[in-house]
């Protein structure tokens, strides 16, 4: 069996991956908070862990891998967007508006991530469907002395868990010094974090032993992973920005509520995404969503291709130039493998690169070396979620009858040769190019071909 090695944040080393049960390999990834379109940075873990999921399925069997990614559908940002809609006069209760907003956002998320060739996880639990499990876990924590209730809040007693900070390699005192910990009168210690908080009438809430309220963010991943994957599972993934405090808090909650288990054996973190060498931020004006890119005509397959050129443990720099180059390569590979039946197995060198801590850049280099064997190139690329039939529409030259435009261009050229006024022929040619037409003019004649961004609606009028 192929040996997979992964960089485990828990041990700070690359380790051979040994699943608890090779017939039931289990992976959890922290999913999105569903209040708006996913930005490009949100898509990086989706692609990284999709590649890992595909590799695990290949190595252990499709039926032997369970991949869970949650939807955080209870959150103050969701409440705020729903409240803004209500204040603007939208009909329905606040709960209806929240539900509407999260449903809509989940549908967008699926649409956008599908476009990147990411397979849907086996389970996509919504936090609001697991409130009972969260309350049960909080009750266990209180009983064991790891949590306490005060003024409608329940807090986790951080100093009751001696391993707190181990994942990120910090001590509790370092964390207090460096972090923005919220000091509140109901906290025993500033480091203690919220498991449950009260909801007023304006906010969604559930009945609990501590009054009507809602869960803190961290507890949902602990409760859902326990319900769906058990007290110990194989891989926990997420962006490196979640390592502290989110993942430290997940570990503390899960290990204290279920000390018989060890929660996740391998912690895999992806680095962040930048845009043209800079941190993506609204204030820098380089903030955009996956949908913005798709709408601009950047195919999802190209986004995926760009992402895979950088190892997941390195910051990934999105540039327009990379997108353009990737589009060229994919177009070439698509032309090369069109109507080719993929080989039965991907190339061993591609699998070897991926198995070495998901070396996607190495796997891509192997693909470049396979252009002499289109069937093997196709099988190997498809294993990586590229050159899939359902993603290829963008690369297909659109059908269009441009003969009338070609005749007009030829006539304008003939006229220009006679009267030495080239302005009309140049203008007509420029309009064709703007409509995405590839213009080839030679002594033999004029040839027009619909190009990548061809849009018939933009063609110059003939009248
Ligand atoms: Zn999480």
Distance CA 168, CA 165 (A): 6
The pLDDT score that the predictor gives to residue 351 is 98
Mean pLDDT of 102-112: 96
Q: Which has the closest alpha carbon to 398: 334, 344, 454?
A: 454
Torsion angle in degrees (nearest 10) through CA of 34, 39, 45, 50? 80
Residue 178: its pLDDT value, please?
65
User: Residue 452's pLDDT is what?
Assistant: 64
Region of poorest pLDDT, from 93-97, 270-274, 329-333: 93-97
Could you give the count of Cα atoms lying within 13 Å of 72 in the half-sphere of its Cβ?
22
List helix spans (H) across 34-75.
40-60
DSSP assignment string, 287-355:
--BHHHHHHTT--HHHHHHHHHTS-TTS-EEE-HHHHHHHHHHHHHHHHHHTTPPPPSS--HHHHHHHH
How far apart CA 449 and CA 439 sit, in angstroms, is: 7
* Helices vs. strands in the chain: H and E counts, helices first: 15, 15
Q: ∠ at Cα 44 (59, 220), nearest 5°?
A: 85
Beta bridge partners of 402: none
pLDDT, one tens digit per residue, over 208-233 is 999 999 999 999 999 999 999 999 99
Say how many Å lie between the CA of residue 226 and the centre of ligand 1. 12
Question: Looking at residues 234-245, what average pLDDT do you find?
Answer: 96
* Cα angle, residue 246 at apex, residues 126 and 315 outer, rounded to 5°: 100
Question: pLDDT higher for 439 or 125?
Answer: 125
Compute the distance from residue 393 Cα to the ligand 1 centre, in Å: 35
Ligand 1 center–CA 167 separation, angstroms: 14
CA 300 – ligand 1 centroid, Å: 26
Omega within 30 of 0 (cis) for the link into 278: no
Q: Cα of 30 to ligand 1 centre, how many Å? A: 4
Q: Is the pLDDT of residue 236 over 90?
A: yes
Output phi, psi for 86, to 5 deg.
-65, -45
Q: What b/e readout covers 60-76, taking b as 16+ CB neighbours within 10 angstroms?
A: beeebbbbbbbbbbbbe
Least Cα distance to 347 among 376, 389, 385, 316 occurs for 376
How many angstroms is it from 218 CA to the middle of ligand 1? 6
- Mean pLDDT, residues 444-449 taken together: 86
| Ligand 1 geometric centre to CA of 432 (Å) | 51
CA 282 to ligand 1 centroid distance, Å: 24
% of the chain at pLDDT higher than 90: 78
Average pLDDT, the chain: 93
Token couple for 200: 């007023």
Ligand 1 centroid – CA 239 distance (Å): 10
Tell me, in angstroms, the distance from the centre of ligand 1 to residue 32's CA: 9
In sequence order, the β-bridge partners of residue 225 are none
Count of residues making up the chain: 463
457 Cα–ligand 1 center, Å: 46
Q: Where are the beta strands (DSSP E) in 396-457?
A: 437-442, 445-450
Q: From the centroid of its chain, how far is CA 217? A: 19
Element (H, E) at 123: none
- Confidence check: pLDDT of 297 > 90: no
139-158 confidence digits (pLDDT tens): 999 999 999 999 999 999 99
CA–centroid distance, residue 377 to ligand 1 (Å): 36
d(CA 378, CA 338): 9
Token pair listed for 431 = 């309009």
Q: How confident is the model at residue 26 (pLDDT cuts 50, 70, 90)?
A: very high
**Span 41-55, pLDDT tens digits:** 999 999 999 999 999
Does the pLDDT value for residue 179 go beyond 70? no
Cα-atom radius of gyration of the chain, to the nearest Å? 27
Q: What is the pLDDT of residues 87-100, one digit of tens each?
A: 999 998 888 899 89
What is the CA(195)–ligand 1 centre distance, in A? 13
* Å from CA of 115 to ligand 1 middle: 24
Per-residue model confidence (pLDDT) at position 398: 67
Strand partners of residue 206: 213
| Helix axes 300-308 and 40-60, enclosed angle (nearest 10) | 80
pLDDT for 362 equals 98
Question: Residue 174 pLDDT > 90, yes or no?
Answer: no
Residue identified by tokens 């990147």 is 116
Centroid of ligand 1 to alpha carbon of 102 (angstroms): 18
Q: How far is the CA of 223 from the centre of ligand 1 (A)?
A: 10
For residues 60-84, average pLDDT? 94
């Amino acid at each position: 069996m192929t040996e997979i090695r992964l960089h485990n944040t828990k041990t700070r080393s690359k380790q051979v991956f040994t699943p608890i049960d090779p017939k039931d390999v289990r992976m959890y990834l922290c999913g999105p908070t569903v209040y708006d379109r996913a930005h490009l940075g949100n898509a990086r873990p989706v692609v990284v862990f999709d590649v890992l999921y595909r590799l695990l399925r290949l190595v252990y069997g499709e039926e032997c891998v369970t991949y869970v990614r949650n939807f955080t559908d209870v959150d103050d940002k969701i409440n705020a967007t729903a409240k803004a809609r209500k204040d603007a006069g939208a009909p329905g209760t606040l709960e209806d508006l929240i539900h509407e907003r999260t449903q809509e956002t989940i549908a967008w998320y699926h649409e956008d991530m599908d476009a990147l060739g990411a397979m849907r996880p086996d389970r996509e639990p919504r936090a609001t469907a697991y409130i009972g499990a969260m309350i049960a876990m909080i009750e266990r924590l209180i009983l064991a002395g790891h949590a306490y209730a005060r003024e409608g809040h329940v807090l986790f007693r951080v100093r009751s868990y001696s391993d707190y900070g181990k994942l990120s390699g910090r001590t509790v005192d370092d964390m207090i010094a460096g972090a923005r910990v919220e000091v509140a009168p109901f906290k025993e210690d500033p480091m203690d974090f919220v498991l449950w908080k009260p909801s007023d009438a304006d906010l969604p809430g559930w009945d609990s032993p501590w009054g009507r309220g809602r869960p803190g963010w961290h507890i949902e991943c602990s409760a859902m992973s326990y319900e769906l994957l058990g007290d110990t599972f194989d891989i926990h993934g997420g962006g490196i920005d979640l390592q502290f405090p989110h993942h430290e808090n997940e570990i503390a909650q899960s290990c204290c509520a279920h000390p018989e288990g060890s929660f996740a054996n391998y912690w895999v973190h992806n680095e962040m995404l930048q845009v043209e060498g800079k941190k993506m931020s609204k204030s820098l004006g380089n903030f955009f969503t996956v949908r913005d890119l798709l709408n601009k005509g950047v195919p999802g397959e190209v986004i995926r291709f760009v992402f895979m050129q950088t190892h997941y443990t390195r910051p990934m720099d999105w540039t327009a130039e990379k997108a353009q180059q990737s589009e060229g390569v994919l177009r070439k590979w698509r032309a090369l493998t069109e109507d080719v039946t993929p080989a039965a197995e991907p190339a061993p060198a591609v699998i070897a690169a991926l198995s070495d801590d998901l070396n996607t850049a190495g796997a891509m280099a192997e693909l470049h070396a396979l252009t002499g064997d289109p069937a093997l190139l196709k099988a190997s690329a498809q294993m990586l979620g590229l050159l899939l039939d359902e993603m290829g529409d963008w690369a297909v030259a659109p059908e269009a009858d441009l003969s009338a435009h070609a005749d007009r261009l030829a006539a304008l050229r003939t006229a220009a040769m006679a009267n030495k006024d080239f302005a009309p022929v140049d203008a007509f040619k420029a309009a064709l190019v703007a409509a995405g037409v590839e213009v080839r003019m030679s002594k033999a004649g004029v040839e027009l071909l619909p190009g990548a961004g061809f849009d018939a609606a933009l063609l110059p009028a003939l009248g």
